[in-house]
Amino acid sequence: MSRQYVTTAIDYPNAAPHMGHVLEKVLGDVVARWFRLRGDTVRFQIGTDEHGTKIARAAEDEGISPKELVDRNVPIFKDLYDRLNISYDHFIRTSDQQEHWPTVQELWKRLEKAGMLEKRSYTGLYCSGCERFMTKRDLDEEGNCPNHKKPPEEVTEENYFFLMSRDTDNLKNLLTKEWDGESYRIIPKSRAQETLALVDQGLEDVSFSRPKSSLTWGVPVPGDSDQTMYVWCDALTNYISGLGYFTDHEDTTFWDDANVTHVIGKDIARFHALIWPSMLKHSDVKTPDQLLIHGFLTSEGEKMSKSTGNVVVPDDILEKFGGNPDPLRFYLSHEIPVGNDGDFSWKRFEELYDAKLRNEIGNLLNRVLVMLVKEGGILGDIGDPSFITAKYEDYSADMDSFRLSDGLQIAVQIASDCNKYIDDRKPWALDDAEKLGVLSTLAEALRHCALALLPFTPDTAQRISVQLGVPYADRMLDKEFVITKEMRQFGGQKDWKKVGEPSILFAPLS
Ligand SMILES: [Zn+2]
HEC readout, 65-85: CHHHHHHHHHHHHHHHHHHCC
Active site residues: 18, 21, 127, 130, 145, 148, 303, 306
Measure 205 CA to ligand 1 centroid, in angstroms: 20
Q: What are phi and psi of 378, to 5 degrees?
A: -95, 130
Q: 50 C-alpha to center of ligand 1: Å? A: 18
Distance 471 CA to ligand 1 centre (A): 55
Determine what percent of the chain is predicted with pLDDT higher than 90: 86
* Distance from Cα 145 to the centre of ligand 1, integer Å: 5
Share of the chain above pLDDT 70, in %: 99
Give the chain's mean pLDDT. Answer: 95
Q: Are 89 and 42 in contact (CB under 8 A)?
A: yes
pLDDT, residue 179, reads 54
Mean pLDDT to the nearest integer, 282-295: 95
Ligand 1 mean position, distance from CA 232 (Å): 16
Cα torsion through 38, 40, 41, 44, rounded to 10: -70
pLDDT band at 131 (very low <50, low <70, confident <90, very high): confident
Q: In the structure, what pLDDT confidence band is assigned to residue 111 with cuts at 50, 70 and 90? A: very high
Distance 317 CA to ligand 1 centre (A): 30
146 CA distance to ligand 1 middle (Å): 7
CATH architecture of 323-488: Orthogonal Bundle (1.10)
Mean pLDDT over 238-266 rounds to: 97
Q: For residue range 374-417, what is the model confidence (pLDDT) as tens digits?
A: 999 999 999 999 999 988 999 999 999 999 999 999 999 999 99
CA distance 250 to 43: 15
Give the pLDDT score at 136: 85
Q: Residue 134 C-alpha to ligand 1 middle, in angstroms?
A: 9
* Cα 16 to averaged position of ligand 1 atoms, centre (Å): 19
Dihedrals phi, psi of 233, to nearest 5 degrees: -65, -40
The whole-angstrom separation of Cα 435 and Cα 131 is 67
Residue range(s) of every CATH 3.40.50.620 domain in the chain: 3-295
Q: Return d(Cα 224, Cα 244) in angstroms, integer.
A: 24
Let me know the angle formed at the C-alpha of 35 by 405 and 412, rounded to the nearest 5 degrees: 30
Q: Identify the band that residue 178 occupies on the pLDDT scale cut at 50, 70 and 90.
A: low
Quote the ligand 1 centre to 14 CA distance (angstroms): 16
The rounded Å distance from CA 132 to ligand 1 centre is: 8
Task: Report the predicted TM-score, pTM, of the whole model to 2 decimal places.
Answer: 0.95
Whether 505 contacts 327, CB under 8 Å: no
- In CATH, the number for domain 3-295 is 3.40.50.620
Q: What stretch(es) of the chain map to CATH 1.10.730.10?
A: 323-488
- CA distance linking residue 151 with residue 153, whole number of Å: 7
